[in-house]
Structure 1
Amino acid sequence: MKLISHLSSIALLAAVKFALAQNETFLAGLLSTLNETGASSLSGLASQLNSSDQGRSLLTALSNGDPYALFAPNDTAFSNAPSSAFTNIDNFIAYHLVTGNFSGVNTSYANTTLGRTFLNDSQLVQLEGNQSQVLAWAFRTDHVTVLNQPMDTIVTNTTSFGNITINVIDHILTFPGTFEQTVASNNDAFGGISSALGNVSAPFFNASTGQTTNTSVFSVVNNGLHGFTLFAPNSTAVAAIASDLASLESNTTLLEIVLKNHLINGTSAYSPELVGTNFTSASGEVFSSSINSTGQYVTSGGQTALIVQPDVLLSNGVVHVIDRVLLNTNEDAGAASSAAASATSAATQSTTETRPIGFAQTASLAAASGATTETASSSTGSTSTGSASTGSTSTGSTSTGSTSTSSTSTTTGSTNTGSTTAGSTTSGSTTTGSTTTSASAGARAFSPYLAQIVSISTTLVGVMMGGIFTVA
């Protein structure tokens, strides 16, 4: 037995040494490619991956031959970044790495492409089923833009190393924050919202302790929810039905039903996943979605709204800003309970993403002109326009990391035309036509609609807390 144990130890040690050597060889090639593309600062960070368990696991995964996309900040991006961004190198690199093959996937904003990253630190990500965080990007104007970033972050060049597509970007990526942090980054629009959320309390059931406590909405939103989707009407939408909302305030039961019909409990449903799939709201009503050349729509109880800002990522869920309040007063408690149970069960089944999130639902969709109209407060389509059939027509799909040509898109106001892929590769060579010296205010990836999300958040989230959320 001792001999067998000794031999097993020798074999294990040999396997570890082989894996380390393989990692070193792979890493050397990757670092060389990064240096050649103007990302030598990232190369310097990546050279340290083999010194930690998390880093070694990352390298082992990357060298297995499966397709990945690396969003590589250039040297200028590093020089402009705060030193605090690099306190945890493994997490930093993990959020810049996306699993899957994105070749041939093209989307023009407001349609987005989303991929699952390697970032799964529980201090930074609290999605359902302990899933890793996602990254969203889209083709805007004449370049691919990474969304949900404080600065316009564009793909300036693309090349490849083996199984990895390397998209060079002009800023480092920041992790999605909590609802509180998202509000704080837009103080001009959200003045006083943090204190307002802190002053609103509601019953909150914690499945871990089996106790229900009166908890501030501020704490629940930031620390309690693990996976949710919120369709948040913008300020224009709320103002349009101010009188209706005033009358609902005297009927708290009905108001709660309406507000819960803006929420999917226990599931982070990103915009490409909405098409072709019906989801159930926290009030038990069906959400359906459709896409046409004017945008993506969501419908509940015969009420249809345009999604004007999709996929606002949070550490524990996702928000889609819509241009209309969904005044659905119907409720099905049984369906809501069943949907919540199904979401909990589905969250425990881990899968490895090998392509864009929602790809199966949107891959076959094609817009008539490849154009997408982004309208902040338009009511176009709010009746039923573009929503008669779920998952029928589409506006293209996004892309980085595929065969490329220079952009042919133009932007007039808020209408994006064309969906030619920018910043892609041909077997290890860099492409042209994707470098942009500066981004215009009209192409900001983070605003303007994010600044409208919290227009009714205090009331919306406060009412929704009562008895419908749990912490696993």
Structure 2
Amino acid sequence: MKVSILPYVLLAAVPSALAQNWTFLEGLINTLEGAGCTTLTGAASQLNSSDQGKSLLATLSSGEPYVLFAPDNTAFSNAPSNLTSDITDLFAYHIVSGNFSGVATTYPNVTLGRTFLNDTQYVQLEGNKSQVLAWAIRSDGKTHVLNQVNDSTVTNTTTYGNVTINVVSSVLSYPASFTNSVPYVNSSLTSLESTLTNVSVPFYNSSTGSLSNASVLDVVNSGLRGFTLFAPNNSALAAIQNGLATLESNTSLLQIILDNHLINGTSVYSPELVGQSFVSAAGEALTFAINETGQYVTSGNTTAQIVQPDVLLRNGVVHVIDRVLFNTEENASAASSAAASATSAAAHSTTETRPIGYSQTATLDGASGAGASSTSASKKSSATSVLMGATIGQMVAAGLTALGIAVGGLMTFG
């Protein structure tokens, strides 16, 4: 009888207080090997080289529910070396905390869970939150992990103890910046990328003490920590091409319109939008509705359909829409109030152990994710306004990670 020595290697990675759980780890490894994930189990032995890796192993054997997205052997053989070089971070992004049984959404409704990946080299979300993972059932009846360069599907599901194991066909890549995501994840945003490049704003970097103009694209790529962008696709921008040319000569007005597509300071995922109202970076209300035809966002007198939700970025989330939200109004007072609330909320984040958008105390039975209609009253949430004022205004970056603005002056948020 062949006996794998790997469980004993993994045992060395577990704090002594949890050494009695070696039988759990041995069983998990055997289950993974039986599911065709032997390369994954071999890589797991490298987790012993870091404290985070040891903690991940101990966490899995804690008895709490987790979902492990386990790349099969073929997935590992096809994965680029730069993705598999840091095994600890790789594992961290493949583990989701919580019980996801009974939650299976059909695209465009999306299921999202919070992973353990919080390495600041790859994640710059508000409140130092870990990155999320998104998946959905597509028309082929298969569960697809979204936002991947190479399409990754769940090919098999099994369980071992408290761990649900979803075997996937590709090693999952981390969300990247807006610019690095557009060519690979959503080519329908190339026109918006060009527009964001053509608009510049005063940007103050408190780390270097320098003030200079930066394109809105640069700010979105690396100057914001936590944001939600409702991004008009190429067709939406083409529909207003003549007006867009005029707007680009009226920078102040264009900046306000862009502000009304942005919730800053908060990454709001599609299940959290249903029936809610948020404050844009211009201080105007963004309201949301859902019906049998899809999910919609309204700003001022314009309503657009969200045609692709939850395009994950390293520092926020994008929802692709089919119309430009042509709202030229702004409310600096509302934006300032939202800024203070968002900063406070980010500082008091809690651990999420259920699908994002679900109540921490609600049952998952019968849940339908973002497709569930909301009967709750609209609740106004907050968003940091770094893009506000008569124009976009001045922006502050503390080491390009924390941003803030106050009416009439600069303020750095830690």
Pairwise same-fold verdict (TM > 0.5): yes
Matched, 1:90 2:88: yes
Alpha-carbon distance between aligned partners in 1 of 2:367 and 2:293, rounded to the nearest angstrom: 12
**Residues 249 and 336 of structure 1, relative CA distance in 2, 3 Å threshold:** same
Shift of 1:181: 1.3
Q: What is the CA deviation profile of residues 190-235 of structure 1, one whole-angstrom value per residue up to 9, with x for unaligned ones?
A: 8899899778642113455675433354543322110111101111
Q: What is the CA deviation profile of residues 78-112 of structure 1, one whole-angstrom value per residue up to 9, with x for unaligned ones?
A: 12112322211000111000011111112110010
TM-score (norm 1): 0.71
Q: Which residue identity is paired with 1:81?
A: A
Q: Give matches, 1:74-153, under 5 Å.
A: 74-141=72-139, 142-153=141-152
Residue 411 of structure 1: aligned partner: none
Q: What is the CA deviation profile of residues 255-280 of structure 1, one whole-angstrom value per residue up to 9, with x for unaligned ones?
A: 22211100001111111111132110
**Residues 371 and 468 of structure 1, relative CA distance in 2, 3 Å threshold:** closer
Q: What is the CA deviation profile of residues 360-398 of structure 1, one whole-angstrom value per residue up to 9, with x for unaligned ones?
A: 39979989xx998xxxxxxxxxxxxxxxxx8359xxxxx
TM-score (norm 2): 0.81
Matched, 1:254 2:243: no
Alpha-carbon distance between aligned partners in 1 of 2:116 and 2:211, rounded to the nearest angstrom: 34
Residue 57 of structure 1: aligned partner: 55
Q: What is the CA deviation profile of residues 53-82 of structure 1, one whole-angstrom value per residue up to 9, with x for unaligned ones?
A: 111111122222111100001111112112
Residue 293 of structure 1: aligned partner: 292
Alpha-carbon distance between aligned partners in 1 of 2:299 and 2:193, rounded to the nearest angstrom: 30
Q: What is the CA deviation profile of residues 104-161 of structure 1, one whole-angstrom value per residue up to 9, with x for unaligned ones?
A: 1121100101000000000000001111000000011211110000121111110111
Residue 334 of structure 1: aligned partner: 333
Matched, 1:391 2:318: no
Q: Give matches, 1:256-405, under 5 Å.
A: 256-360=255-359, 391-392=374-375
**Residues 323 and 190 of structure 1, relative CA distance in 2, 3 Å threshold:** closer
Matched, 1:33 2:35: no
Contact kept? 1:23, 1:56, Cα under 8 Å: no
| Greater relative contact order structure (CA < 8 Å, 6+ sep) | 1
Alpha-carbon distance between aligned partners in 1 of 2:105 and 2:185, rounded to the nearest angstrom: 27
Which deviates more from structure 2 when the two are superposed, residues 188-197 or residues 224-233?
A: 188-197
SS at match of 2:106: coil
Shift of 1:173: 0.3
Which deviates more from structure 2 when the two are superposed, residues 16-25 or residues 269-278?
A: 16-25
**Residues 357 and 190 of structure 1, relative CA distance in 2, 3 Å threshold:** closer
**Residues 189 and 114 of structure 1, relative CA distance in 2, 3 Å threshold:** closer
Contact kept? 2:190, 2:234, Cα under 8 Å: no
Contact kept? 1:99, 1:355, Cα under 8 Å: yes
**Residues 161 and 309 of structure 1, relative CA distance in 2, 3 Å threshold:** same
Alpha-carbon distance between aligned partners in 2 of 1:189 and 1:277, rounded to the nearest angstrom: 27
Q: What is the CA deviation profile of residues 29-52 of structure 1, one whole-angstrom value per residue up to 9, with x for unaligned ones?
A: 211110011111111112332342
Contact kept? 1:120, 1:131, Cα under 8 Å: yes
Q: Which residue identity is paired with 1:127?
A: L
Alpha-carbon distance between aligned partners in 2 of 1:345 and 1:184, rounded to the nearest angstrom: 35
SS at match of 1:226: coil
Contact kept? 1:296, 1:307, Cα under 8 Å: yes
RMSD value, Cα? 3.2
Which deviates more from structure 2 when the two are superposed, residues 142-151 or residues 245-254?
A: 245-254
Residue 409 of structure 2: aligned partner: none
Q: Which residue identity is paired with 1:129?
A: G
Alpha-carbon distance between aligned partners in 1 of 2:28 and 2:224, rounded to the nearest angstrom: 38
Contact kept? 2:225, 2:265, Cα under 8 Å: yes
**Residues 192 and 231 of structure 1, relative CA distance in 2, 3 Å threshold:** closer
Contact kept? 1:136, 1:146, Cα under 8 Å: yes
Identity %: 62
Residue 6 of structure 2: aligned partner: none
Q: Which residue identity is paired with 2:156?
A: N
SS at match of 2:296: strand
Q: Which residue identity is paired with 2:394?
A: G
Alpha-carbon distance between aligned partners in 2 of 1:189 and 1:102, rounded to the nearest angstrom: 31
Residue 46 of structure 2: aligned partner: 48
Shift of 1:26: 3.3
Q: Which residue identity is paired with 1:57?
A: S
Residue 7 of structure 2: aligned partner: none
Alpha-carbon distance between aligned partners in 1 of 2:320 and 2:186, rounded to the nearest angstrom: 18
SS at match of 1:307: strand
Contact kept? 1:72, 1:96, Cα under 8 Å: yes
**Residues 165 and 359 of structure 1, relative CA distance in 2, 3 Å threshold:** same
Shift of 1:241: 2.1
Q: Which residue identity is paired with 2:30?
A: S
**Residues 102 and 193 of structure 1, relative CA distance in 2, 3 Å threshold:** closer
Residue 467 of structure 1: aligned partner: 394
SS at match of 1:145: strand
Alpha-carbon distance between aligned partners in 2 of 1:166 and 1:156, rounded to the nearest angstrom: 11
SS at match of 2:359: helix
Alpha-carbon distance between aligned partners in 2 of 1:72 and 1:333, rounded to the nearest angstrom: 47
Alpha-carbon distance between aligned partners in 1 of 2:370 and 2:281, rounded to the nearest angstrom: 33
Shift of 1:242: 2.5
SS at match of 2:295: strand
Contact kept? 1:259, 1:464, Cα under 8 Å: no
Shift of 1:165: 0.4
Q: Which residue identity is paired with 2:300?
A: G
Q: Which residue identity is paired with 1:282?
A: A
Shift of 1:466: 4.0
Residue 10 of structure 2: aligned partner: none
